[in-house]
């Protein structure tokens, strides 16, 4: 039997391109969970929210979804700040960590999903962008623009976040807060504002990731929950709080899902990310790049 070169190559390319999207979806969790220790499982809810906002503006006004995403980012940023305020006042300050915070975010995720169902129904929605139907060909390998454009934007965003965190003052304050909040407070830094900013950033990335998602595939409200495992799998695999780790983890997961979909069938794909998550948690919880 001929070695299915074309199939494998395409699976690799699709996997890598998908991995870019996954990185965009997970970088926010890397910040909120990996650095701030806030278990925001409502993160995918904000991703889907971004998808639906892109959908609605695109459907009504015809604007390019990615452009919409960029314009709407400040909105998500503000939303993130508000959400963190509530979380901080009700949970972190009282020291009632895990249980309540988890239940809180679960409730938020839940409310988001049901609200979307009420407004939009359970049908799949998609956007139409100019480049979605174009596909570049390089020998046996397809490069669908539907995947390539979001990949490029995702990469830009993730690299942008990494540069921000490592090169700017405020970004480094975020990294510092992750390591030693008390020391930072003693040095006179308002850690609450730093954390608030970081969390807001994570939600902003979620909104943008949602826009990229809906360019790639149609969405419906329940998808959010399916991506929880993926987003946390990437974060844990990559070692919690390492942006580079998140990128690598995302690419690995993208490849794993792509190969599963190609060779075992697409209905098994959701199980892959969760399976990897369970496996990582059970056997190497510090992840590949873990501290």
Partner 1 sequence: MSNRAFALVVFAAAAGIIAASRLVTNDYYFSAAYTVLQFVILATAWNILGGYAGYVNFGSAAFFAVGAYSSVFLYRWVHAPLPVMIVTGTLVAGLLGFGVGYLTLRLRGVFFAIATLALAVVLFTCVVNWDYVGGSRGAYILQPKDLPFGLKRYIHVLFGAMVLMAGVALVVARTIETSAIGRGLAAIRDDELAAECAGVPTLRLKILAASVSGALMGMAGTTFPYYLSYVEPSAAFNLSYAVNSIAMPLIGGMMSWMGPLLGALLLGTVQQVVQVTVSSEWNLLIVGVLLVAFVTLAPNGIMGWVDKWKRRRK
Q: Residues interacting with partner 1, by CB under 8 A?
A: 39, 41, 86, 90-91, 96, 98-100, 102-104, 106-108, 110-111, 113-115, 117-118, 222, 225-226, 228-229, 232-233, 236, 265, 267-268, 270-271, 274-275, 277-278, 281-282, 285
Interstrand relation of 141-144 and 135-138 (parallel, antiparallel or unpaired)? antiparallel
Sign of CA pseudo-dihedral 199, 201, 207, 213: negative
Comparing CB distances to partner 1, the nearer of 63 and 274 is 274
Comparing CB distances to partner 1, the nearer of 141 and 281 is 281
Comparing CB distances to partner 1, the nearer of 111 and 187 is 111
Comparing CB distances to partner 1, the nearer of 111 and 163 is 111
Report in angstroms how near the CB of residue 282 gets to partner 1 at its nearest.
4
Rounded to whole angstroms, the Cα distance separating 9 from 2 reads 14
Comparing CB distances to partner 1, the nearer of 154 and 256 is 256
Rounded to whole angstroms, the Cα distance separating 50 from 73 reads 9
Report in angstroms how near the CB of residue 86 gets to partner 1 at its nearest.
7
Report in angstroms how near the CB of residue 265 gets to partner 1 at its nearest.
8
With vertex at residue 246, the alpha carbon angle to CA 67 and CA 262, rounded to the nearest 5 degrees, is: 80
Report in angstroms how near the CB of residue 116 gets to partner 1 at its nearest.
10
Report in angstroms how near the CB of residue 216 gets to partner 1 at its nearest.
20
């Amino acid at each position: 039997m001929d070695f299915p070169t074309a199939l494998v190559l395409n699976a690799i390319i699709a996997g890598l391109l998908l991995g870019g999207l996954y990185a965009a979806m997970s970088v926010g969790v890397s910040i909120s969970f990996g650095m701030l220790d806030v278990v925001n499982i409502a993160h995918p809810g904000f991703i889907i929210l971004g998808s639906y906002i892109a959908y609605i503006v695109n459907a009504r006004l015809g604007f390019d979804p990615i452009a919409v995403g960029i314009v709407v980012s400040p909105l998500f940023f503000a939303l993130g700040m508000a959400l963190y305020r509530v979380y901080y006042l009700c949970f972190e300050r009282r020291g009632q960590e895990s249980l309540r915070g988890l239940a809180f975010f679960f409730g938020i995720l839940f409310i988001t999903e049901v609200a979307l169902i009420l407004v939009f129904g359970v049908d799949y929605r998609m956007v139409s962008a100019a480049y979605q139907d174009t596909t570049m060909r390089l020998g046996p390998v397809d490069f669908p623009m539907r995947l390539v454009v979001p990949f490029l934007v995702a990469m830009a965003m993730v690299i942008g976040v990494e540069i921000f965190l490592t090169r700017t003052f405020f970004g480094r304050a975020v990294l510092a807060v992750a390591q030693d909040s008390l020391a930072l407070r003693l040095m006179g830094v308002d850690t609450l504002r730093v954390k608030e900013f970081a969390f807001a950033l994570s939600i902003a990335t979620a909104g943008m990731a949602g826009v990229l998602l809906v360019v790639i595939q149609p969405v419906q409200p329940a998808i959010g929950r399916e991506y929880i495992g993926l987003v946390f799998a990437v974060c844990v695999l990559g070692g919690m709080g390492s942006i580079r780790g998140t990128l690598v983890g995302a690419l690995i997961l993208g490849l794993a899902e792509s190969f599963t979909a190609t060779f075992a069938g697409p209905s098994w794909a959701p199980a892959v990310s969760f399976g990897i998550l369970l496996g990582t948690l059970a056997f190497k919880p510090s992840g590949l790049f873990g501290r």
